Amino acid sequence: MGKIIDGRALADKMQLGMAAEVAEMSIKPGLVVIIVGENPASQTYVRNKELTAKKIGLHSVVERLPEEVSEAELIEVVSNYNQNDLFHGILVQLPLPGHIDEEKVLLAITPEKDVDGFHPINVGKLFSGQAGLIPCTPYGIMKMLEAYDVELEGKEAVVVGRSNIVGKPMAQLLLDKNATVTITHSRTIDLPAVTRRADVLVVAIGRGHFIRAEHIKPGAVVIDVGMNRSAEGKLIGDVAFDEVIEVASLVTPVPKGVGPMTITMLMEQTIANARKIQ
Ligand SMILES: Nc1nc(=O)c2c([nH]1)NC[C@@H]1CN(c3ccc(C(=O)N[C@@H](CCC(=O)O)C(=O)O)cc3)C=[N+]21
Ligand SMILES: [Mg+2]
């Protein structure tokens, strides 16, 4: 029987440290979250982010734009925040409505304030071993693995999912720690055979309770990035937690696993950015 990785508790502990750090700073780190339209999943995230930012003592603004806003108008809003010295982090909540080209909008955020790590400059830095801003979900997962003393050197790490936001940057961060990394995806022929090699398994596929006991090597560490709604409207992960924890040594729950750590890393990168110029 494995143990829970308590992302909520680790996030709370790190946030306490950040609050103390911010209280000592000569300037107040500022974060703006720009959200377009009324996507309900996005609303939860934005609300959690706002509460966390306030708790830590950041200057936090949520800029809400109507669903019909044009791409040019959105880019104009972003440009204004690029120039505004009160803000050290800018996040444009994804997904954006279909009439807006996400790539163009991400490109408009100045790479220095891109606390999501989605700008091609930061992506290029991550994949070429240069310091830059890192996507918050994979970054938070690395902090969890570190806090739980999970050994990565030479180990088999398997990432399920190849998104730009989670799968690909996750694989790179694991590689940086000298893990032997495999990325699997929807076309992988024998998924259980590959995931059963994993000492560390990170799952980000967006299919509720898809990963079962049969996918797990005994003693593996399992990280669940999934955020799905069950038929009853409950938030559930990509991993069938109750059966997987019987086989694994450590498993993250959903909620209270990866989610709170994602938000914590957003705060961390905003504070670090503000520090650079204080
Ligand atoms: N530009 C951009 N950056 C993002 O980082 C980003 C985004 N767009 N779009 C949406 C997704 C989703 N996301 C979440 C992060 C934390 C929780 C979170 O805090 N979850 C809590 C509570 C969830 C609940 O109770 O509903 C938990 O897992 O315990 C949720 C969702 C960030 N995203
Ligand atoms: Mg689009």
Whether 72 and 172 share a structural domain: no
Report how far ligand 1's centroid is from the alpha carbon of 116 (Å): 12
| Residue owning tokens 């705060």 | 267
Number of domains in the chain: 2
pLDDT at res. 134:
98
- Domain CATH for 97: 3.40.50.10860
- 148-196 pLDDT, tens digit each: 999 999 999 999 999 999 999 999 999 999 999 999 999 999 999 999 9
Does 108 share its domain with 158? Answer: no
Token readout for 39 is: 């996507």
Asked whether residue 165 falls in the same domain as residue 106, the answer is no
130 pLDDT exceeds 90? yes
pLDDT level of residue 38 (50, 70, 90 thresholds): confident
42 lines ligand 1 (CB under 6 A): yes
Mean pLDDT calculated for residue range 256-277: 96
Task: Report yes or no on whether pTM surpasses 0.90.
Answer: yes
Q: What is the dihedral of CA 198, 171, 142, 35, to 10 degrees?
A: -130
Please state whether 37 falls in left (phi above 0), alpha (psi between -120 and 50) or beta.
Answer: left
Within-domain flag for 72: yes
Say if 17 falls within a structural domain. no
Domain termination residue (choose one: 64, 96, 112): 112
271 in a structural domain: no
Residue 39 lies in a domain: yes
The amino acid that residue 255 corresponds to is P
Residue of 93, 114, 172, 269 marked catalytic: 93
Residues surrounding ion ligand 2 at CB below 5 Å: 102
For the domain that residue 253 is a member of, what is the CATH number? Answer: 3.40.50.720
What percent of the chain has pLDDT above 90? 95
196 assigned to some structural domain: yes
Residue 101's domain comprises 26-112
90 and 170 share one domain: no
Residue 189 lies in a domain: yes
Closest ligand 1 atom to residue 44 Cα is: 26
Beta carbon of 269 within 6 Å of any ligand 1 atom? no
List pLDDT tens digits, range 75-113: 999 999 999 999 999 999 999 999 999 999 999 999 999
Same domain? 84 vs 183: no
Residues 90 and 165 in one domain: no
